[in-house]
Amino acid sequence: MSISTPGGPERRPTVVSTGKKPAAGRPAAGAKATGAKAGPGKSGSAQRTGGGKGPRKPITPVKVSQGRSWGPIALFVAVGVLATSIVGFGAWATFKGSQSWQDKAAGIDGIVNYREIDPDGISYESHQSGKIEYKYSPPVGGAHNNAWQRCLGDVYDAPIAAEHAVHSMEHGAVWLTYRPDLPPADVEKLAGVIRGNDFMLMSPYEGLDAAVSLQAWGYQLKVDSADDPRITEFTTTLAQNASIEPGVPCSSGNYTTGTGTEPRELAPPTGG
Amino acid sequence: MPNATQGAAQAERNGTEPPRPSRTLRQLTLLMAAVLLLGVGWTAATLLSNRVPGEESAEAGFARDMSRHHAQAVEMAMIVYAKGQDPALRQIGYDMALTQQAQIGHMQRWLQEWELLPTGSRPAMEWMPDAVPVGPDGLMPGMATREEITQLHESQGAEVDQLFIKLMIDHHLGGIHMADGLLEVSDRPEVVRLAEASKQAQQKEINELRKLGLADG
């Protein structure tokens, strides 16, 4: 019942206006036949202009027998193509959307997303002073000291306290760490990636299980070569974006610029 | 009334040139041509108006580089706010730090809207019309060196004021220079507006700083 009713009221007016007998499927069949003779692409308009009037019908076939007007057909096709491409482009743009930095990060081969696989491992209650045990090495988040390590493209030539570096990462910094026995030429290559860029810092890291390990809050990528193109991919994609306090600076404030893995307390108020 | 059109069409058809399309068809053709033109125009307009600055545009370069340039000004301004001797200077520091930090936010937002990363793939200042070379340390014109920043951090008393004035005047001159570079090549409204505003503010602050420098010195 519910299937047959929707069609009913729509069919009715047609029947009434034509004032003819044809039942359900008939008029459609008749129109189709006319349309087919009228040539492809024109059946709709022929039918519409016909308006269901009787005398009209014979005219259409006559027209057709005289050959097609290619100009209009080409135009119809052009409009069709244009309409399809507009719709297609819109659909494609919508589908593709804007690729977020998260998508870009997920696209980096070998990256580990701890925000996804271990959110508890990088959560923390509040700032904490002194030494802190970290679950991952190098750490990718979690509790940290009050002071952050300055991350204005700073290249530290000695290990730094993770307790400060983790705070830098909270501010959106990418912390590049490398094995201390890396050749100086490689270290210089890495420095070239970091130096001069806000929200980046680098330092050697004792006991690293890869040549280079890159960290941002909740993200890590370990690579075996200083030439690996994923290094730049990681730094540019995650620097600042990975901040969990968006808008907070890396370059100013109560930062520390000292090296050594012993965490420092906040410097006393700077004078006056 | 359909009969009228029809009659005309029929008359035409019975005439001399059989292959001629009917009037209806011609009207339809014209209509379709109009639709086609409109469609092309609309598409072109949409594509053009949706165009945002790209990875290597001056606007993106400005947003990235001025953010970093500003970041150092914020740092210096916070130092003078915390320990400057002259209250007027502390006031300027406060004003500068908040304004420039907010502007960093604006510029970062543009980059997000343009779907660009905060860090560029090209060297800093390369987008400038006169392609300003930037040293290996990444310091752009006017920026203080690491040593100068450390010196400012460690300075005390009246030395803070004098050092700040000197460093900030240079910094602002560099900032104005960068804003000029952008204004020379860009007509993107939001970027032009910020470049102009920051240029004017920094010019005024330079005047102010010079005055205070003379008074304090």
Predicted local distance difference test score (pLDDT) of residue A98: 66
Lowest mean pLDDT among A11-25, A191-205, A208-222, B142-156: A11-25
What's the confidence (pLDDT) of residue B146?
87
Nearest by CB to residue A86, choosing from B21, B22, B39, is B39
Q: B150: nearest CA in chain A?
A: A257
Q: With 60 as the cut, is the pLDDT of residue A93 above it?
A: yes
Q: Please tell me which residue of chain A has the smallest CA distance to B147.
A: A257
Please say whether the beta carbons of A233 and A173 come within 8 A.
Answer: no
User: What residues does A200 pair with on adjacent strands?
Assistant: A152, A174
In chain B, what residues touch A49 (CB-CB under 8 Å)?
2, 24
Q: Are A271 and B121 an interchain contact pair (Cβ–Cβ within 8 Å)? A: no
| CB atoms closer than 10 angstroms to residue A164 | 25
CA angle in degrees (0–180, nearest 5) for B163-B169-B170: 95
| Contact (CB<8Å) A271/B105 | no
Question: Is there a contact between A72 and B79 if contact means CB atoms under 8 Å apart?
Answer: no
Which positions ≥6 away from B18 have C-beta within 8 Å?
A66
* Closest-approach residue (CA) in chain A for B158: A272
Residue A58 in contact with partner chain B when CB distance is under 8 A: no
Q: Do residues B111 and B188 lie in contact, with contact meaning Cβ atoms separated by under 8 Å?
A: no
pLDDT reported for residue A22 = 47
Interface predicted TM-score of the whole assembly (ipTM), two decimals = 0.72
Interface contact A26, partner B, CB < 8 A: no
> What confidence score (pLDDT) does residue B87 get?
94
Task: For residue B15, give the nearest of B7, B26, B3, B4 by alpha carbon.
Answer: B7
Query: Residue A176: what pLDDT?
Result: 98
Q: Which residue of A has its CA nearest to B139?
A: A196
Whole-Å CA distances, A185 to A119, B2, B103, B173, B210: 37, 87, 38, 36, 45
pLDDT confidence of residue A219: 98
All domains in chain B, ordered by first residue: 2-49 (no CATH), 58-216 (1.20.1260.10)
pLDDT at A124: 87
Q: pLDDT tens, A229-262? A: 999 999 999 999 999 998 888 877 778 888 888 8
Residue A266's pLDDT is 67
Residues of B in contact with A69 (CB under 8 A): 19, 21, 25, 29
Of the pLDDT bands very low, low, confident and very high (cuts 50, 70, 90), residue A51 is very low
Tokens of B197: 């505003």
When CB atoms are compared, the residue of A62, A69, A83 closest to B25 is A69
Task: Extract the residue ranges of chain B whose pLDDT is less than 50.
Answer: 1-2, 7-8, 11, 15
CB pairs under 8 A, 24+ apart, for A43-52? A45/B28, A49/B2, A49/B24, A51/B2, A52/A14, A52/A17, A52/A18, A52/A27
Q: Cβ contact (<8 Å) for B83 and A271?
A: yes
Closest residue of chain A to B79, computed from CA coordinates:
A270
Would you kindly state where each structural domain of chain A is located, as residue ranges?
A: 1-65, 67-97, 112-256
> What average pLDDT does range A197-225 have in this prediction?
96
> Do B43 and A86 lie within an 8 Å CB cutoff?
yes
Q: Which residue has the tokens 């589908």?
A: A95
Task: Annotate chain A with DSSP letters as a single string.
Answer: -TTTTTHHHHHHHHHHHHTS---TTHHHHHHHHHHHHH-TT-HHHHHHHHTT-TTTTTHHHHHHTT---HHHHHHHHHHHHHHHHHHHHHHHHHHH-PPPHHHHHHTSTT-EEHHHH-GGGG--SS---S----SSSS--SS---SSEE--EEEE-SS-B-HHHHHHHHHTT-EEEEE-TTS-HHHHHHHHHHHTT-TTEEEEE-TT-SSSEEEEETTEEEEES-TT-THHHHHHHHHTTTT-SSTT--SSSSSEE---BSS--PPPP----
Average pLDDT value for residue range A95-119: 89
| CATH, range A112-256 | 3.40.30
Q: Looking at chain A from residue 174 to 233, which residues have their Cβ under 8 Å from any Cβ of chain B?
A: 195-200, 232
Q: Which of A150, A146, A156, A191 is nearest to A168 (CA)?
A: A150
Which candidate in B86, B117, B150 is best for mutational testing of the A interface (most A CBs within 10 A)? Answer: B117
Question: Looking at the predicted structure, is the pLDDT value of residue A15 above 60?
Answer: no
Inter-chain contact B82–A51, Cβ cutoff 8 Å? no
Residue A89: closest C-alpha in chain B: B43
Interface of A with B in 142-161 (CB under 8 A): 152-153
**Distance of residue B137 Cα from the nearest chain A Cα, in angstroms:** 5
Q: Checking DSSP bridges between strand A219-223 and strand A112-113, what pairing results, if any?
A: antiparallel
Percentage with pLDDT > 90 across chain B:
65
Look at A270 and B153 and tell me if their CB atoms are within 8 Å.
yes
Peptide bond into B189 cis (omega under 30): no
pLDDT of residue B10: 53
Cα(B70)–Cα(B178) distance, rounded to whole angstroms?
Answer: 11
